[in-house]
Amino acid sequence: MSDPHRYEVALRWSGSTGLGWEGYGREHTATAPPAEQEVGLTTGEAQGDKRVLNPEQLLVMAASSCQMLWFLHLAAKARIDVVAYDDDAVGLMPTGEPPVRVTEIVLRPRIRLASDSPVERVDRLVHTAHEQCYIANSLTSEIRVEPRIEHAR
């Protein structure tokens, strides 16, 4: 069996959930270097242009974005002030094992908090967000969330 294809994306958000659910911006960016666009047009493996996002990268981005948006929603409702959220996610698609599909997505959010919110409570919200994420619930791929929770300095 050959090595799986690897699809990496980087998602970025910053702001503050300190004003509650209606007070924070949902705008965020997602990229998958070396792609320069945020629209998937081809596959990056065969004849595709590696500067253009491919559907596999967009799938990983969708899972990452959905997880982040659910987490921010829950954090705002819990009055936890999140000031930054970065996720360096990866999707794996083994080759040579029909049917070919993305079998695993690993989300690695780095979450920075404005105050001394209890890390254990924030960790529970991360896992609740995963349970609520409709993208994760729609996929047969295994999705793991490996958060790093820090207090901003």
Res. 26: pLDDT tops 90 = no
| Identity of residue 54 | N
SS3 70: helix
pLDDT classification of 112: cutoffs 50, 70, 90: very high
In contact, 31 and 9? CB cutoff 8 Å: yes
pLDDT at residue 15, rounded to an integer: 87
What percent of the chain shows pLDDT beyond 70? 88
More confident site: 34 or 151: 151
Q: Which residue has the higher pLDDT, 107 or 14?
A: 107
The tokens of 64 are what? 């990452």
Buried b (16+ CB within 10 A) or exposed e, 92-126: bbeeeeeeeebeebbbebebbbeeebeeeebeebb
Tell me, what's the pLDDT at 72? 97
Residue 9 reports pLDDT greater than 80: yes
Q: What domains sit in the chain, N to C, each tagged with a CATH number? A: 5-151 (3.30.300.20)
17, 81 in Cβ contact below 8 A?
yes
> Does 135 or 48 have the greater pLDDT score?
135
Pairing verdict, β 142-145 and 148-151: unpaired
Confidence category of residue 93, pLDDT binned at 50, 70, 90: very high
pTM of the complete model beyond 0.85: no
Which residues, including other chains, have CB under 8 Å from residue 4's CB and lie 6 or more apart?
Answer: 92, 93, 94, 95, 103
Q: Would you say how long the chain is, in residues? A: 153
